[in-house]
Amino acid sequence: MTYDEVERILGKPGSIGRGANQIPIPDISLSSEYGDSLDVNKDLRADPKYRDAPPHIHTTGQLLYVTWIYPEVKRDTFYCTFFNLRRVQYAADHLVYHINGQIVQRWLYDEIEDLAYCDPSGRIISEVAWEGYRNVGRKVPRPTLALKTVERDLGFRMERVRNPLNRRYFVIVEKFCVIFDAASGRVSQSGFFPFEVTYIN
C-alpha cells in the first residue's frame, strides 16, 4: 500500500516520524547497569507480564523508514524482579596494622617506633626511604608522632536473597503506526510500537 491508499483508509496521521521503535531483548551479561541486584528469574517467564530487565526503547532505521503515528494508544503494565541484598559481616583470621590511620605492612609497623615518616604524597614510609627523598632534594613532610593500632580484619560482603515479590513495575505506552519504506513509499509494517516507558515504583 502507498501513502495515498493508507490515508484513504485510516485518514491523516497525528504526526510523522522517522525510523521504527522497538524494545530489544536485553543482554544482561553485557550490562552492569543493575549490578548484581537484577534477578533474571526464569521461573517467571511463563507470566506474560514479566520481563527479564527494565526495557529501553531503541529507534532503528531512521534513514530507511517513514512512520505515520496515529492517536490510538495502548498501555500495559509489566514488571521485573530484583534480589534483596543483605550485608553480611565476617571475621577474617588475620590482623590489620595501622599507623596514623593508614594500613601498613607488618614489617613497617614493627620498624616505626615513635615517629611516622611520609613521602611527598603523604603515604607512610620507612625512615630510610624518607631520608632518601631528602637527599635528592625532594620536599617531604616533617615526621609526626606515630599512633599505632592493630585490628582484626572485619570484612563485609553482599549476599543476594531471591525474593520474587521484590518487583519494579513499569508501563509501556504503544501507539498505532504505519511504517513506510522511505525508498519505495510502500507500507513495510504496521501495528502498535513502543513510545514511552514509565516506572511506577
Whether residues 173 and 105 fall in one domain:
no
Going from the C-alpha of 147 to that of each of 100, 111, 144, 151, the distances in angstroms are: 5, 13, 9, 13
Q: What total number of domains does the chain contain? A: 2
Q: How confident is the model at residue 38 (pLDDT cuts 50, 70, 90)?
A: confident
pLDDT greater at residue 109 or residue 35: 109
pLDDT greater at residue 79 or residue 156: 79
Whether residues 189 and 175 fall in one domain:
yes
Whether residues 9 and 27 fall in one domain:
yes
Q: How confident is the model at residue 20 (pLDDT cuts 50, 70, 90)?
A: very high
Q: How confident is the model at residue 30 (pLDDT cuts 50, 70, 90)?
A: very low
Question: Which residue range is the domain that position 55 belongs to?
Answer: 3-83+165-199
Average pLDDT rounded to a whole number, residues 81-99: 83
Whether residues 42 and 139 fall in one domain:
no
Average pLDDT rounded to a whole number, residues 88-116: 88
Residue 28 pLDDT > 70: no
Last residue of a domain, one of 141, 158, 175: 158
Whether residues 59 and 115 fall in one domain:
no
Whether residues 127 and 188 fall in one domain:
no
* Nine-digit cell string for 201: 515504583
Burial status of residue 116 (CB atoms within 10 A of its CB: 0-12, 13-18, 19 or more): buried
CB 170 within 8 A of CB 55: yes
